[in-house]
Structure 1
Amino acid sequence: METDTNRHFIERMPWDEVGRRISDGAVGILPIGAAAKQHGFHLPLNTDRIQAEWLAARIAEKIAEKIDALVWPTLTYGHYPAFIEYAGSSSLSIATFEALVREVAGQILSGGCQKLLVLNTGISTLAPVDRALARLDSSRIRHLWIHEGPRYPRVARHLAEQSHGSHADEMETSLMLAMAPHLVDMTRAEASPTLDKETPGELTPSDPDSPNYSRSGSYGDPTRATAAKGEALLAAMLDDLHEQAAAFIAEGPDAHRAAAMHSVPR
């Protein structure tokens, strides 16, 4: 039976319910996922947002077996400079994005949440989010990247048939086929040329002579994606994310102080 994951999203609640649940000790989750970022011909621009909210809901549901969890509205604009040549794609400057993350996360903490998980679906957003959160209380906040952990990379390596990829590719398209198959148009999936770099710079749809040319905007081969691969990837991803979230929630402030002292040069 499907659980009611909607019960964790604060945008669907009155403020007094949010306040009560915060007072009762609810953990906060802040998803980061673009809603205006090209994902090839076969996926919608809000692919990252769909993934961020799908994952946040299920992490919240899993956490809620031991402690309540509340999901804040997704940060849908971020630093995504590799895609700005494609219609509809938006990218904030690093400074603006860092300020946005820091202020929103800081307000969640100042509003009473004792712990906050920042769930990040991006790659170019990783360093800016780290810098933004470094200025907040590290004992109360944890940056989670959806592709990090021991299980997901291992499963992805085992399943991958494509020779390269990291965007709207075999892996991401498989995830979407498992999460939201009605939004995937596999008849329009198109592989990108093999580029010189493992992680390309700014992709371009208009210059075939560029080393970063991709007519569709994908980087990899989405034609090899399947829902079965997506289910396996999602299971590994959720296990990784829940393990990291649970460990962080269980930590007390002494653990963070000890880690901070250990990192100081002596």
Structure 2
Amino acid sequence: MSVEAERSFVEHMSWDEVARRIAAGAAAILPVGAAAKQHGLHLPLGTDRIQAEFLASKLAARIDALVWPALTYGHYPAFVEYAGSISLSAATFEAAVAEIASGIVSHGCRALFVLDTGISTRAAAGRALARLQAGNTLHLTIHDGPRYRHAAAGFARQAHGSHADELETSLMLAIAPEIVEMSRAEASPPIAQAAPGCLTPSDETSPNYSRSGSFGDPTLATLEKGEALLAAMLDDIAVQATAFLAGLSGTAGEARGAAS
């Protein structure tokens, strides 16, 4: 991460620097990405955290935002049979998101974006923000935007997948190629369900068996795919965040006009 990017991360700043940035109108980003979640044989357990912090730094540069430390434990029940993987209950994760988000909002940031790299975390994170009823929070998910979906549909050659697969591995080749061990990439067997239950590395009779932990075919990943997917993903979240901020500014302007 560049020195310039680090200056958006509050962990590298003093409290009065943070206060000045907030007073000047900076928004806030809370990245959500696991640091203890298996990602096949070819990617580290911290893959989601790396993605979350990278995306947060790029988004912060586009919209003028401060980035809080990533929430690296979450609700990831599908992976707990793989060594090192940790999952919180949905209720515990929801409570953590709600408390952290409430704390960030209380400092006066004009908006808070919860940048969520997970799939099983989405429902609980959404509930957490709904509980705040703050009006200036937005849950950003990274795989749902139209640009990313269009790019993924055009590039994907795997028959199935959604985890440590062709697309995610391509993204990591674009974000942090030095940590991707393509020589260890291994496709999962054909899994009947489009969204399997808990994966298992040991029960070969299970419909969710994956020796490597991948769900999909990471051997098909390339840097070129990753660069295109990453650009689409960044554009999607930036467009959402920019539109949300514009809406807040419009609402504030209307309120001032009504009061005058």
Structure 2 length-normalised TM: 0.94
Find the aligned partners of 2:227 and 2:215 in 1 and give their Cα distance: 21
* Cross-structure match for 1:202: 198
What is the alpha-carbon distance in structure 2 between the residues aligned to residue 53 and residue 47 of structure 1?
Answer: 10
Alpha-carbon distance in 2 for matches of 1:218, 1:93: 23
How do 1:101-116 and structure 2 match up within 5 A? 101-116=97-112
SS of equivalent residue, structure 1 residue 28: strand
User: What is the correspondence of 1:174-213 to structure 2 with a 5 Å cutoff?
Assistant: 174-213=170-209
Counterpart residue number, 1:215: 211
Match of 2:213, as an amino acid?
A: G
Counterpart amino acid of residue 141 in structure 1: T
Partner of 1:63: 63
Which contiguous aligned blocks of 4+ residues in structure 1 show a shift greater than 3 angstroms? Answer: 253-256
Give 2:37's aligned amino acid.
Answer: K
Give the Cα separation in 1 of the matches to 2:169 and 2:32: 19
* Equivalent position to 1:225, from 221, 224, 230: 221
Residue 19 (structure 2) pairs with residue 19 (structure 1): yes
Partner of residue 150 from structure 2, selected from 143, 154, 161: 154
Q: CA deviation at 1:138?
A: 4.5
> Any unmatched runs of 5+ in structure 2?
253-260
Deviation at 1:114, TM superposition (A): 2.1
Counterpart position of 2:255: none
In structure 2, give the amino acid aligned to 1:186.
Answer: M
* Residue 172 of structure 1: aligned partner: 168
Match of 2:54 in 1: 54
Note the aligned Cα RMSD (angstroms).
1.4
Partner of 2:41: 41
Q: Which moved more, 1:135-144 or 1:35-44?
A: 135-144
Aligned equivalents of 1:237, 1:54: Cα separation in 2: 12
Does residue 91 (structure 1) correspond to residue 84 (structure 2)? The answer is: no
Q: Which secondary structure state, in structure 2, belongs to the residue aligned with residue 152 of structure 1?
A: helix
Partners of 1:156 and 1:138 in 2: CA distance = 34
1:19 maps to a residue whose letter is A
**1 CA distance for matches of 2:99 and 2:246?**
25
> How far off its partner does 1:254 sit?
7.3
Gaps of at least 5 residues in structure 1 are 257-266
